[in-house]
Chain A
């Protein structure tokens, strides 16, 4: 079944009836065989969720492949393109689940224990903080306040502080992953230009941060 060329995959998947069904069966086998390699960093194969996830993602992948068949440009092997689609589906689901689980843990923590340290951190505190470091942090906070928009600050908090996956942060901000990346790129550019205007660069700022 691996002998199909890109052209024969496309032709078979565009032929209704037994030809398409056979191609879909072969593709299902290929996706199901490949996915465990991609998921093993995320989920143990012994996890009871592993096999159902592989099957669910494989089925969803086939639907998306049929839906997006006309967008395949033939610049990679067809099966690599299909694996790419499967990975996007699987990792989006795993990130969402992992974040939901950690949010639940955090809620339980808040009911029974103090909030996580990272959310309670007092940026001004820390007897070990040197004057140089404290001064630079104050300066950078002022620059962030002056340069970043409210949306850019919100994105930083969601991604960097609350540790949301891009898709979840984008959903909360009523945007999409691509637009969120552009928003953060614009934030980084504004910050970089402002540092340059103040005769600073990232290395100098980081050096000051490291002086404790």
Chain B
């Protein structure tokens, strides 16, 4: 495994660009991963029912824009609800 590097000069341009891009979604108040995990089941059910989750739970939606891991878990849960739906 490659050892961690702490020198900013070694960061590739692309990584710096991604970091700057993430600033567009950065807010003073953000949900943490634990806070998102606590409600993601409600969030997915609301989306599945066709509710406007961006308006109802804006901080959760915003976290998904920034946290790839939480977004993957949300999408996987939505997949189960949508594809497992007996209707």
Interface size on B, residues (CB 8 A): 50
Complex Cα gap A165–B67 (Å): 11
Residue of B whose beta carbon sits closest to that of A202: B23
> Is A162's CB within 8 Å of the partner chain B?
yes
Task: Say yes or no: A141 contacts B79, CB within 8 Å.
Answer: no
Distance in angstroms between the alpha carbons of A205 and B40 in the assembled complex: 33
Q: Which residues does chain B contribute within 8 Å of A95, judged by CB atoms?
A: 69
**Do residues B37 and A189 form an inter-chain contact, with CB atoms below 8 A?**
no
> Are B84 and A33 closer than 8 Å at their CB atoms?
yes
B56 CB within 8 Å of chain A: no
Query: Does A209 make an interface contact (CB < 8 A)?
Result: yes
Whose C-beta in chain A lies nearest to the C-beta of B1?
Answer: A103
Chain A residue nearest to B35 (CB atoms) is: A178
A206 in contact (CB, < 8 A): yes
A84-95 vs B, CB cutoff 8 Å, 1 = contact: the mask equals 100110110001
What residues of B have a CB within 8 angstroms of the CB of A181 in the complex?
32-33, 67
Q: Which of B's residues lie within 8 Å of A, judged by CB?
A: 1-2, 4-24, 26, 28, 30, 32-34, 37, 39-42, 44-45, 67, 69, 72-73, 75-77, 79-84, 86
